[in-house]
Copies of this chain bind each other. A is one copy, B any other.
Amino acid sequence: MSDVKKGKVWAIATGPGSSDLITVRAARQLGELDVLYAPAGRKGGDSLALSIVREFLPPTLNIKERHFPMSADQGEKNAAWDAVAQEMQTDAEQGLQVGFITLGDAMLFSTWVFLLERLRGHVDIEIIPGVTSFACIAARAQFPLAMEQQSMAVVACTAPEEELEQALLNHECVVMMKVYGRVIQIREMLRRLGLLDHAILMAEASLPNEQCFRHLDEIHEDTKLPYFSTILVNRAS
């Protein structure tokens, strides 16, 4: 029998933005970590994920900020994920409790899954789920998602337009993520489908700069929308 503490990788979802919207389990586990991997912040500041969890971190924690390129170059992204996964594995093999923080939920539109693919089978892994951005937006705007026998689709606005249109035709509720830069085009699609009065846009839900557009016609060509902007559509509401 060995006395060496067994290392483990913890993927910890931070939820949508406000620090108190992380789970109790996440808050407790953050306090037990030896090392925390976090996406690098811009311009030297904390990343959003790191700022969300900051108050729960032990003072001795070793924080390793790592850059994840948003590049279109798949080789560059693969190299970055390979390197971070290898570092995390090495830390866990030395008996450390190794955290990785990820915005929203850990398994939906999350960089964590690329690390999971690399780490699975090599180290012990536990994933702590989180509140998705759209659950938070629905709560803040008091805008229901699907009910009873209805269905909901969650799409990225970077997907082809015909796929977005199919989702809007086939589901009572559609969550449109990654609106950034495409809001005018999406708005015209919603107008054409008769759904404009059934849509809202929310940015930075639960954060101090939260913005809610109850009608998308309030948005102008020169309205600067934050990166985290999401449209919710519910044809039944």
Contact = CB atoms under 8 A, between A and B. Distances in A.
Interface residues of A, number: 57
A142 interface: yes
Contacts of A149: 156, 158-159
Given A144-B113, A147-B109, A154-B146, A21 B20 contact: no
Number of copies: 2
Contacts of A23: 15, 20-24, 131
Interface stretch (A31-39, A164-172, A210-218): A164-172
Interface of A: 11, 13, 15-16, 18-25, 27-28, 105-110, 113, 116, 120, 125, 127-132, 135-136, 138-140, 142-156, 158-159, 163, 166-167, 170-171
Given A107-B144, A132-B135, 16 more contacts: A19-B24, A21-B25, A22-B23, A105-B138, A106-B135, A107-B138, A109-B148, A113-B144, A113-B147, A128-B139, A129-B131, A129-B136, A130-B135, A150-B156, A151-B156, A153-B153
